[in-house]
Amino acid sequence: MRVRLTMLCATAAEGSPDQVFGDGALSARDRLELLAARSALPPYSQAFRAPSVRCAQIAETLAVEAAPEAALRDLDHGLWDGRPLRDVAAEEPYGLSAWLTDPAAAPHGGESVGELCRRTAAWLESLPVGMETVLAITEGSVIRAALVHALSVPARSFWHLDVPSFSAVTLTMRDGHWNARLGRLAAPRRREPADGSAPVAVLAARTASRRLCLTGRP
């Protein structure tokens, strides 16, 4: 069986002091960036999205008919939902530290990283046979959890995986093993012909300057 799953990250600026836990709408700048890169989406036979406002807006902006999928929802932040990271760090430093270092910790009363990783792994393994090209618009936390499973690394590696906003992680299943690659949707480039004629638009799904090309094989 061969499955190619492209996961588009909907979460913006994780780890920034201005980060707010939970859902949020796209900015006008986000929409413009997505519109410019729409033509670079990889081919897919079926699309899913997390049931969040931002993932719905990304699908709409990209003109992708994506089915809502509960398993792709963001990590449940419990009492921290809607709160800025800087406030949580100031008021609950020990709880935040535990959450960032212990995959079993859920000081916010929501979901632990370990629980998210197990939920995401179950969804990956449930993809039907014959679904060869899949697009999933989801949260950075879910993509991190998918990489933990695909690469067969411990859940404590979750926070060491950098998934920028609008990055596109491609997981490919071959013979029971996953390969992973990190890229980013890119707007069309303009190539200047040598003969001085009009510029030509060149579409590409640009790979990030730091390429992730890892394997989940033991």
Q: Could you read off the pLDDT of 75-115 as tens digits, one per residue?
A: 999 999 999 999 999 999 999 999 999 999 999 999 999 99
Query: Cα dist. 215→106, 180, 200 in Å?
Result: 29, 6, 36
- The alpha-helical segments, DSSP class H, found in 126-204 are 140-150
> What pLDDT does 147 receive?
95
Tell which wins on pLDDT, 143 or 189. Answer: 143
- Tokens encoding 122: 């179950």
> What pLDDT does 76 receive?
95
> What pLDDT does 197 receive?
46
- Average pLDDT of span 34-57: 91
Least confident of 17-21, 40-44, 59-63: 17-21
pTM of the predicted model as reported, rounded to 2 decimal places: 0.82
Query: For the CA atoms of 114, 216, 47, 189, what is the dihedral angle to 10 degrees?
Result: 120
Query: In whole angstroms, what is the distance from residue 214 CA to residue 207 CA?
Result: 14
Band of residue 215 on the pLDDT scale cut at 50, 70, 90: very low
